[in-house]
A and B are shown apart, each in its own frame.
Chain A
Amino acid sequence: MDSSLETAADREQLRRVVIDPVSRVEGHGKVTLLLDDDDHVREARLHIVEFRGFEVFIQGRPYWEVPVMVQRLCGICPVSHHLAASKAMDRVLGVPVTRSAEKLRRLMHYGQILQSHALHFFHLSSPDLLFGFESEVGKRNIVGVAGAYPEVARQGVLLRKFGQEVIRATAGKRIHGTGSVPGGMNRHLGVEDRDALRAEIDLMVEWSRAAVELVKRLHRADPALYDEFGRFRANVMSLVRADGAMDLYHGALRFRDADGKILVDKVPDQSYRSLIREQVKPWSYMKFPYLEQLGPDEGWYQVGPLARVQNCDFIPTPLAEAERREFIDHGRGEPVRATLAYHWARMIELLHAAEVIRDLLGDGDLLEGALLAEGVRGNEGVGIIEAPRGTLIHHYQVGDDDLVTMCNLIVSTTHNNQAMNTAVREVAHRYLDGRKLTEGLLNHIEVAIRAYDPCLSCATHALGKMPLVLELADAGGEVVDRVVRD
């Protein structure tokens, strides 16, 4: 777990190249590279430059408002925040959520997984993978994909739309709905919505299978790239169901080390603080979490699809499970660690989400049954959910007067902070070191970051080609070269 490129020894003597902003990701971040006179990379950092402050302004608000307010963190996966906060508040209320309410929340959540994964793969990442990292930048976007591969783009857009419809039917709105409340849900699924979704779900499963096939074809076509690009050893973390199954809505925490050995298992969500600590570095607003027992240098870990697909013992839907087995076999006994394998794992989860939705849509509990339960009120609750990008932790303390007194959020992208930085360093070292920088070469770094589907602000959605300014400065800070992409 090499961190030698985190801080160069002689920073003042090096040239600085900045990628700002990183494009086709959610939110705003930048990458800085420090190069010596021979163009060797001496330092590489992914900086998160937004400051949000949600944890503070949630304090003092009534607990029932939190699941609605906190989802405004994000326009891409608001459902994940909505549900993580609801789950935490279920704990505060001491409520065992009813069968109907949990199934409705699961349907909402897997709709979220489906739409977010489709958005990320087809809209944000497929242009790099289908056209090449150094392809013509003007076509390297979803519009370019729609021109060259119209059926791929169409299926991607409609898969996302279907996921959004699942969210609308359960949460009331495609974005920032209000269906989940502390203690349960406030609405059933309507029969008309159920029937409309059922009419399309088999096609969505088929298209999801096609998406997995597409990623596998890409891997087969260029194994040297897909198996090696951004490859490094890392621990992984995710929720896992009690029987070892993948469960994106609820479970206990499991860590595996870089060899795939289980380090920690079956840790209840309420005890996350006994495992995880967060480190602060002066050059980024994003904290660096780590597994306490290993310390900050060795204890950092990956979350998200690549972690989840390999951390669980099995996926509880048949088509996705068959794909998981093929994925595991691809590693030939070793964990799959290549950065681009995130896409393959993500599409396996897309298929799993489609299968879960298909199964849930046949369940009568979605249409009727108690939505709210009562319990013994407490003052603290943790809600953990596997959001599209990885493990999402919400932790609240609530006073007897019903106002929130403490809020701690560890969002998925924060868990991946060190891993993304490591990917940036790995790629910078391997592909950029000693070479004259071009837009295409710098895009290699963005490709590595994009694979994580980071939500850098967990709020802003940057879709398509964003303005990019590259400045090359000499050791004295004088700009000697400047490339602008409008």
Chain B
Amino acid sequence: MGGKFLFDGQPVPFEDGQTILQAARAAGHYIPHLCWHPDFPPHGSCKLCIVKVGGRHVSSCALPARDGMEVESDTPEINGERRALLQMLFVEGNHFCPSCEKSGNCQLQALAYELDMSSARFAHFYPDRPVDASHPDVLLDFNRCIFCELCVRASRDVDHKGVFALTDRGIRKHLVVNAESGRLADTDFAVGDRAADICPVGVILRKRVGFAVPIGERKYDEASISTVAMEKGE
């Protein structure tokens, strides 16, 4: 079966079961995303992959493609919404790119460049999120968490450890470590875990190597996130 839909006016083929995002990527069209990862099922929480289908705004990572759909993605309206979502993510945490060791490798920062975000626009929350440096090999800097739950899913579904979880709701939502003490050192988390290198931002960090690769020579310094995503499949 399968079929075709129009993506920004271009015909895109799809197979049964493919989402809009998967089919568009397979046809060479980039859709911004943060919580979606090619190795994991759709999550639909960040909403950066929002597209317009038949007048409705939908998550392209979660909506199955259908024959004859007309999908709008790279338009001023949709990119404006994505930019606003990014701005809200920036003010919700403490994102200080100039001294962040993830700078140049961070998907949040790279998307902000991609979508021409030039200011935070909203008032910063400045939340108090103490770091967890208890683990000998890995630092957790919760200041930068965007609640994509990739670490939660990787630790639960791939590592089968369930080290991470989101707790509380709404404005109080935050990432926690599943241990009586709340400390990473008191879990069986290991630096070789899938969850250790899944974070799209700068929360889960290998200790002591943060600036080993010079800023300016990093993944998204060399090419835009859309280019990296489409050429390297990341």
- A interface residue numbers (CB < 8 A to B): 60-62, 64-65, 67-69, 72, 172-173, 176-179, 181, 186-187, 399, 401-403
Contacts and interface: CB of A to CB of B under 8 A. Distances in A.
Interface string B191-234: 00000000000000101111111111100000000000000000
B134 interface: yes
B199 to A, nearest CB: 16
Nearest to B135: A401
Interface in B89-126: 98-99, 101
Contact of A402 (B99, B139, B214): B139
Nearest to A70: B99
Given A402-B139, A403-B133, A64 B211 contact: yes
Given A72-B98, A401-B133, A186 B214 contact: yes
Given A62-B207, A179-B214, A402-B207, 6 more contacts: A62-B131, A62-B133, A64-B101, A64-B208, A69-B99, A72-B98
Nearest to A179: B214
B211 A403 contact: no
B209 to A, nearest CB: 8
**Interface magnitude class on chain B:** 20 to 34
B130 interface: yes
Contacts of A401: 133-134
Contact of B214 (A61, A69, A187, A399): A187
Given A402-B133, A402-B207, A172 B214 contact: yes
Given A172-B214, A173-B216, A186-B213, A65 B101 contact: yes
Interface of B: 98-99, 101, 130-131, 133-134, 139, 205, 207-217
Given A64-B101, A69-B99, A72-B99, A181 B131 contact: no
Given A68-B99, A69-B99, A72-B99, A403 B131 contact: yes
A64 B210 contact: yes
The 9 residue pairs across chains A and B that have the minimum distance between CB atoms? A69-B99, A401-B133, A178-B215, A172-B216, A68-B99, A64-B210, A172-B214, A181-B211, A403-B133
B214 A178 contact: yes
Contacts of B131: 60-62, 403
Contacts of A402: 133, 139, 207-208
6 contacts: A61-B131, A65-B211, A178-B214, A186-B211, A187-B217, A402-B139
Contacts of A172: 214-217
A68 B98 CA distance: 8
A422 B232 CA distance: 63
B201 to A, nearest CB: 15
Contacts of B139: 62, 402
